[in-house]
Amino acid sequence: MRPAAALRAALVCALVLGALTGCSREYDAEDLQYAGDYSSHPPLAVVGYPSTGTLRITQQVVWRIADGKADALASLADDAQDEGTTKKTAENWIAAFRKGAGGKVTAEFYDEGSYRQTVVLYLHDTGQIKEIYVLPGSTDYRNVWRVSMGEPDPAEATAVAPWVPKKPGELGSTVLP
Each residue's pLDDT tens digit, 34-47: 777 677 788 899 99
Q: Is the pLDDT of residue 167 over 80?
A: yes
The whole-model pTM stands at 0.78
Average pLDDT value over all residues in the chain: 82
Is residue 126, in this structure, part of any structural domain at all? yes
Kindly state whether residues 21 and 82 are assigned to the same domain: no
Q: Is the pLDDT of residue 6 over 80?
A: no
Q: Is the pLDDT of residue 139 over 80?
A: no
pLDDT band at 23 (very low <50, low <70, confident <90, very high): very low
Is residue 94, in this structure, part of any structural domain at all? yes
| Contacting residues for 76 by C-beta, under 8 A, at least 6 apart | 57, 60, 61, 64, 146, 147, 149
Show the domain range for 111: 41-158
Please say whether the beta carbons of 127 and 105 come within 8 A.
no
CATH code for the domain in which residue 85 is found: 3.10.450
Provide the domain count of the chain: 2
| Alpha helices by DSSP H, the chain | 3-23, 29-40, 52-67, 70-74, 83-101, 154-158
> Looking at residues 57-66, what average pLDDT do you find?
96
- The secondary structure of residue 49, as a DSSP letter, is -
Please state, in angstroms and rounded to a whole number, the distance separating the CA atoms of residues 20 and 26.
12
Q: What pLDDT score was predicted for residue 19? A: 47
Kindly state whether residues 46 and 101 are assigned to the same domain: yes
Is residue 177, in this structure, part of any structural domain at all? no
Q: Is the pLDDT of residue 176 over 70?
A: no
